[in-house]
Chain A
Amino acid sequence: MQALRRTLLPFVGFALVIALWWLTAVSGVVGERNLPTPAAVLDAGWTGLTTPDGLLVDIRLSVLRVLIGVVVGCALSLPLGFLLAWFPTTRAMFDPIVSFCRALPPISLSPLVIIYLGIGEDARLFVLIWAAFFASVVVLYEGIAAVDDIYVRAGRALGASEFEIFRRVIVPATVPQMFVAVRVALGVSWATLVAAELIAAQRGPGWSIQRAASFFRTEDVYAGIILIGFSALLMDMGVRLVQRRAVSWQERVVR
């Protein structure tokens, strides 16, 4: 029963939002041109996806970009996060720099990136990797700092060396946080990518939204936005699925 509710309720949530949207669109308070009905958007999305060289190509391109950005960004941030958080010296030294770079909106780098790397794929990937790296390194870093000291002390009392404490206590204790780091990186990467595509790109869903808007095809704009949302949601669900298996030991607060 509980499980059924948990699987059904998200759909109920979606259904409610769609119903509200439909009512608003049909009532005409915002004008038919401004707010298309869900059916029109579905139709536009379907057409977009099925046209050769259409939305499907755009979305595939973005998914690939985000994947590369997150994979490379997290591959760099995992070892560096541990390094930064574990040694007090490196932590003290790099803490402010990491915070600075994290606070910096990645998109603000694009003018510089364009100067150095041009406007090609390299530039976009650089910005994405940057975004994924700093988003995840901070989460990881906080996670390592938050490992309960009691486990470290228990490990030491059992005779663990400094390296064994790291490898057999700190690393496993931080695994849940690694997944959080990947999920945060995914979110930030999607946001950054679409923003970048809105400004300057040859292809991608951001670009197609921008183009549809300039022709005032609102149903295409909506279809693009929803498609981006679902792609991001699916990727997040994928990570959560792996997470649930990998950290089944984790105690969760049940409400």
Chain B
Amino acid sequence: MTGDISNARISFDDVRVGFGAGKKRKEVIDGVSFDLGPGEFVSVLGPSGCGKSTLLNMAAGFPATDSGEVRFDGERITRPESRRGVVFQQYAIFPWLTVEKNIAFGLTLKSNRRSRSEIDETVRRYIDLMGLGGFEKALPKELSGGMRQRVALARAYATDPDVLLLDEPFAALDAQTREFMQELLHEASRAERRATLLITHSVEEAIYLSHRIVVLGNRPTSVHEVIDVDVPWPRTPQSRLQPEFLEVRGHLEGVMRPLSGSTLRKAQT
């Protein structure tokens, strides 16, 4: 199942991150390797503070790696580009633009410029895919948190990225909205078939959405284990009650509990 190195879209190769130099150096991420294959949905699951967002930022191209490298289609990632779409945990849609202008934003930039009719068509498509019909002219301040993240997803999809990078996009939402958003994202990613990397600390979310889950351990962070999720595809709200789902969930919660606990203890001392 693990994507063959040669056709992986994103590959993390022995990534290390630390602060300080020489003897004082403290490793935060200590050798993380895994691949994201074409069309694959992979979740990175880990306790808070383990550096999972740092991994996503590297894949996006925000900071460079200290050592080891993150490659995109075989090339070292050095800067952000629209072929790798990003959705952040914080609301990052532009508050001064309407919903449709937010979604069109990437397509009006020089690096990705499309014709007016193409833009309209794309915006229409993602408005529909994300269930935003009727809110085209709305400003972000008029939208709920869940709607804002739907706009953010639509905006990321609109530039036609090869890879989608999602940094805990639903973490700020209430439980009910989260479940709804997971279902919406699952439908969207089935329709879009783009390689997607999701950072999350929710076991349930990771199982519901992923082909594969990369479980990270505590600081210094390394890959604790990689799990193939065998819950039948496509997933529906009923999947959450299937024995395969519950089995993976039981296993992951067992793995995560001691990991989260020790982070907590460390944070308290």
Stretch of B84-92, B122-130, B190-198 lying at the A interface: B84-92
Contact call B96/A158, Cβ cutoff below 8 A: no
Kindly state the separation between the CA atoms of A160 and B93 in the bound complex, as whole angstroms: 14
Q: Which residues of A contact B60 (CB under 8 A)?
A: 153, 157
Please judge, given known A-B contacts A172-B94, A251-B95, whether A153 and B80 are in contact too, CB under 8 Å.
Answer: yes
Tell whether, in the assembled complex, residue A156 and residue B80 are in contact, meaning their CB atoms are under 8 Å apart. Answer: yes
Binds A, one of B105-113, B175-183, B253-261: B105-113
Pairwise interchain contact B139-A249, C-beta atoms closer than 8 A? yes
Q: How far is the CB of A149 from chain B (nearest CB, A)?
A: 10
The answer on a CB contact under 8 Å between A157 and B95 is no
Q: How many residues of chain A have a CB within 8 Å of chain B? A: 22
B62 contacts across to A, CB distance below 8 A: 153, 156
Q: How far is the CB of B60 from chain A (nearest CB, A)?
A: 6
Q: Of the candidates A154, A160, A248, which one forms a contact with B86 in the assembled complex, judged by CB atoms under 8 Å apart? A: A154
User: Does the CB pair A249–B80 fall under 8 Å?
Assistant: no
Q: Which residue of B lies closest to A247 (CB)?
A: B96
Query: Which residue of chain B has its CB nearest to the CB of A157?
Result: B86
Determine the residue in chain A with the shortest Cβ distance to B139: A249
A156 to B97, CA, bound (A): 17
Given contacts A157-B84, A158-B82, contact A249 B95 (CB under 8 A): yes
Complex contacts, B85 vs chain A, CB 8 Å: 157-158
CB <8 Å contact, B139 and A153: no
Chain B residues touching A, range: 20 to 34
List of A residues within 8 angstroms of B111 by Cβ? 159-161
Does any Cβ of B come within 8 Å of A39's Cβ? no
CB distance from B194 to the nearest CB of A (A): 15
Q: Which residue of A lies closest to B111 (CB)?
A: A159
- A250, CB-defined interface residue at 8 Å: yes
**Which of A154, A155, A156 is packed against the most chain B CB atoms within 10 Å?**
A154
Q: Are A157 and B80 in contact (CB under 8 A)?
A: yes
Contacting pair A169 B95 (CB below 8 A): no
Main secondary structure of the interface of B (DSSP, over half): loop
Instruction: State whether A158 touches B159 (Cβ < 8 A).
Output: yes
Contact with B along A120-163 (1 / 0, CB 8 A): 00000000000000000000000000000011011111111100
Tell me if A's interface is mostly helix, strand, loop or mixed.
Answer: helix
> Which residues of A have CB within 8 Å of B82?
157-159
* Residues of the B chain whose Cβ atoms lie less than 8 Å from the Cβ of A161: 109-111
- Asked if A158 and B106 make an inter-chain contact with CB atoms under 8 angstroms apart, the answer reads yes
Task: Point out the residues of chain B lying under 8 angstroms from A251, CB to CB.
Answer: 95, 141
Which of A154, A158, A173 counts the most chain B CB atoms within 10 A? A158
Min C-beta distance of B211 to chain A, whole Å: 24
Inter-subunit contact A150/B88 (CB<8 Å) = yes
CA distance A175 to B97 in the complex (A): 13
Q: In the complex, what residues of A have CB within 8 A of residue B94's CB? A: 151, 154, 169, 172-173
User: Which residues of the partner chain B approach A175 to less than 8 Å between Cβ atoms?
Assistant: 96
**Interface residue A164 (Cβ < 8 Å from any Cβ of B):** yes
A157 to B62 CA separation, bound complex (whole angstroms): 9
> Is the beta-carbon distance between A164 and B88 smaller than 8 angstroms?
no
| Complex interface: chain A residues within 8 A of B80 (CB) | 153, 156-157, 159
> Which chain A residue lies CB-closest to B84?
A157
User: What 1/0 mask marks residues of chain B from 20 to 34 whose CB sits below 8 Å from any chain A CB?
Assistant: 000000000000000
Cβ contacts under 8 Å, A249 to chain B: 95-97, 139-141
Task: From B109, B111, B139, name the one whose CB has the most chain A CB atoms within 10 angstroms.
Answer: B109
B92 and A160 form a contact (CB under 8 A): no
B88 with A250: CB separation less than 8 A: no
CB of B157, distance to nearest CB on chain A (Å): 11
Q: How far apart sit A173 and B92, CA to CA, in the bound complex (Å)?
A: 12
Contact of A159 (CB < 8 Å), options: B92, B97, B106: B106
- Interface 1/0s, chain B 148-173, versus A by CB < 8 A? 00000001100100000000000000
In the assembled complex, which residues on chain B have CB atoms less than 8 Å from the CB atom of A247?
A: 96
- Contact check, A159 vs B96: say whether CB atoms are below 8 A apart: no
6 contacts between A and B (CB under 8 A): A154-B92, A157-B61, A157-B81, A158-B156, A160-B111, A249-B141
